[in-house]
Structure 1
């Protein structure tokens, strides 16, 4: 496929989830592919994100010691990383070059002094943890997800700055390992991008694990003495801790890529601007994952990698380009209980003529048999174009809180992806007794009075 004067068809810059998927997909489609990486293959997800954090959560839930939990973390990372190494990529036709890639012109890259010429460049450099602009925070040795899994002893007291998904997950894990944990969140509730009912459920769960949750309060200053690190809050409180973990946002890794030289457009946050085909404003340059505004999740980075590689290697221009469907991106917070959502929340659906069908797990037989009745399924549906509500409304979103929420949300994402109306979901036979029967129960509530299911117009505050 390569042209005369071209070294390679596709160069992928970055070896995280998005970069690995893009490189593999391009190679499978017959392209010659080089992947340029200056860090460990697998990136943040494998080494400092999803894999270690979920392993730590699982170990903490089973009552393992801190040392045993960290040993399990390192073993899991090593095992997963072995499936993503250079040998694995070479087997599918991807050549790996170690180094930092810099674009010198469209289709031209410099890697540690060597030049590469390619038909297409896919930027997949991801993002890194960002420290908030708080006086003293950069001087107290605060941890981020990039360092917390390297701790060799359990902190007695841990302060977590940020009450989003990462902050809540690690707060619960460390609390279950025996650490006294305080979570500080500037917003009025935890995981503020999610349904308020879900936020309340997680606040209750963290309280049961003796986590001290401070919401609606701003961190003003950080200091340290010979014994503790201190976080000074706007309400006058002083939180003393052995370690401080910052989980309050991420910034794209774009420095040194040569974006300005090539003319690639970036937004005010420094993220590369792309459309739903993952193309930038420069022909032959694509961007995927957390380095773009579309990122934030490993599964999104992987999907974008698939889309970008498919489009970069497309030979039949009469066929439509692949696109990223942002309507159906599932989000999961892996606390206990889990929080999973897709599409719009109830508050976002208010004013759209949408209705909500909600079933609490106290009315779901599997939850009763498991003695895990805390949680709910909330389906959001609205009229379809032209057909309106004939045969049932179209699914617009869902929020699930429960032990298997992350697994259950996939069914709703598929229903939304295929534009399934609620009647089909209600008529689908679900095995009894399973957690997923709660989805069928909720969908049935759109059509009939169903025990335990409340159906109502979507409310602006989304609150119970």
Structure 2
């Protein structure tokens, strides 16, 4: 080592306040799993976190949104039971609705907080971390040198440029909406992805005048045109949607009583005509972006693409190439779902352990997504465009409509369509797309079948109880089987078990 190198090394040594084997940045689902797993072997470990020490799911995502949906479903059932001979009008207490959302959210969060509180205080640092040019972690007054770093900094709601300033207090995101003390009178929801659809329908069912905007004529990111069209048809029955619209500007105007402001959206509808919406709030649901841009991971040799996604990412472990850095959960922008973040955190926490005997690396999850609107929307496995792009795949599409499916009609939820993509060569399920009642359960069964390599025959050999909505799955599977056997004389199957 030359004299200059000695000087640099000595300077670094004199400024480092802590040396650890593993540093975890972020204490959400992925970070907590990584910390627990790595702590089984490593003692010199630290976890750094800015903001709440719970998870996105519990605090601003899965759980509060489902609490709101649960209230909305109760109201909808009360208000829409006339066909059963039951006539009622729900009296909705908006303040109580929103208070229950927060109370139950706190209940779920308390279990996570209790766990975090059990961790040694000297291993927890509350503050914003930054990786400097020397690859050291700067946080508060500390400078930490870590042999391995796990980045689990999560994601934040994306807001188009300038919207926050133009809309001011009339703008909401999914990170803010559950703090409302009461239900508003009106709301625009921008974005028809999972977050936008769920919240738009929930607020609408709770009596809020909701208008949903989306720049393309698609909902929930559906890639199967028939499923997308069916989903739009089902949702249009109770939700005002402007699909294929272009928002040209957002602004506010002062209310006549000088109490607050009214939100304004100027847009062009799908026919290109200029229109204006005005209301109380604009809920921006244009997706989420990973919180990694300002962290300084490039100082560790990590390259990001134009969307701030890490290059050379192992989807199995979260490791970046052969670097001693792992990026997991929403931070890597791979599959931003809780069960994926949990698995990735577990895997990364295992990989940094020297005791590889106990390091169980879980296989990558198959694509699996659920939108908890009504009817529910589910995608499992390969999408139809992915299958069509592979010229080597011979496939058929097994179909069932839920419009006349026995149990669905009995329950008054008979709107939906299921497509199962079957491989003719292997007799296996490649993927599926669903909009329909109980789609979350049908999706889980199909995900299990794909994960465990079950054949169509094996699926059909299992019992389907009558009368259940799941019989629709059997009908679609039978259609797959039929079309595989008689490829040029196939027809769409209908549920025949009444």
Assess same fold via TM > 0.5: yes
Instruction: Between 21-30 and 38-47, report the one with greater CA deviation.
Output: 21-30
Instruction: State the secondary structure of the residue aligned to 1:231.
Output: strand
| TM-superposed deviation, 1:70 | 0.6
Contact 1:423 1:444 in 2 (8 A): no
Offset, 1:42:
2.3
From the superposition, tell whether residues 455 and 312 of structure 1 become closer, same or farther in structure 2 (CA, over 3 Å): farther
Decide which moves more: 280-289 or 435-444.
Answer: 435-444
In structure 1, the partner of 2:302 is 264
Aligned equivalent of 1:367: 408
Give the Å deviation of 1:62: 0.9
In structure 2, how many angstroms separate the alpha carbons of the residues matched to 1:415 and 1:108?
Answer: 46
Structure 2 counterpart of 1:339, from 377, 391, 408: 377
Conservation of the 8 A alpha-carbon contact between 2:213 and 2:243 = yes
Q: Which residue of 1 aligns with 2:330?
A: 290
Q: By how many angstroms is 1:190 displaced? A: 2.1
Instruction: Tell me whether 1:121 sits opposite 2:121 in the alignment.
Output: no
Structure 1: runs of 5+ lacking an equivalent: 459-464
Decide which of 183, 186, 200 is 2:212's aligned counterpart: 183
Q: In 2, are the aligned partners of 1:108 and 1:117 still within 8 Å (CA)?
A: yes
Match of 1:54 in 2: 66
Q: Take 1:26 and 1:457, find their aligned partners in 2: how far apart are those partners?
A: 54
Return the offset for 1:217.
1.4
Please tell me whether residue 349 in structure 1 is matched to residue 387 in structure 2: yes
Number of aligned positions between the proteins:
439
Give the C-alpha shift of residue 66 in structure 1.
1.9
Matched with 1:462 is none
How far apart, in 1, do the equivalents of 2:448 and 2:241 lie? 35
Aligned to 1:405, which of 439, 442, 446?
439
Match of 2:314 in 1: 275
Contact 1:394 1:422 in 2 (8 A): yes
State the match for 1:173 in structure 2. Answer: 202
The 5 Å alignment of 1:215-234 reads 215-227=243-255, 228-234=262-268
Residue 106 of structure 1 deviates from its aligned partner by 8.0
Report the equivalent of 2:475.
441
Say if 2:342 is the partner of 1:313.
no
SS of 1:116's partner is strand
Residue 109 (1) aligns with residue 137 (2)? yes
What is the aligned counterpart of 1:208 among 207, 230, 237? 237
**Structure 2: which 5+ residue stretches go unaligned?**
1-16, 76-91, 256-261, 493-498
Give the CA deviation at 1:272: 2.4
Q: What residue in structure 2 maps to residue 461 of structure 1?
A: none
SS at match of 2:147: strand
Provide the residue aligned with 2:190 in structure 1.
Answer: 161
TM-score, structure 2 normalization: 0.80
When residues 71 and 198 of structure 1 are mapped into structure 2, their CA distance, relative to the original with a 3 A threshold, is farther
Larger Rg: 1 or 2?
2
Residues 1:27 and 2:39 aligned together: yes
Bigger proportion of residues as helix: 2
| Match of residue 278 from structure 2 | 240
Deviates more, 1:56-65 or 1:20-29: 20-29
Matched, 1:45 2:57: yes
2:108 maps to what in 1? 80
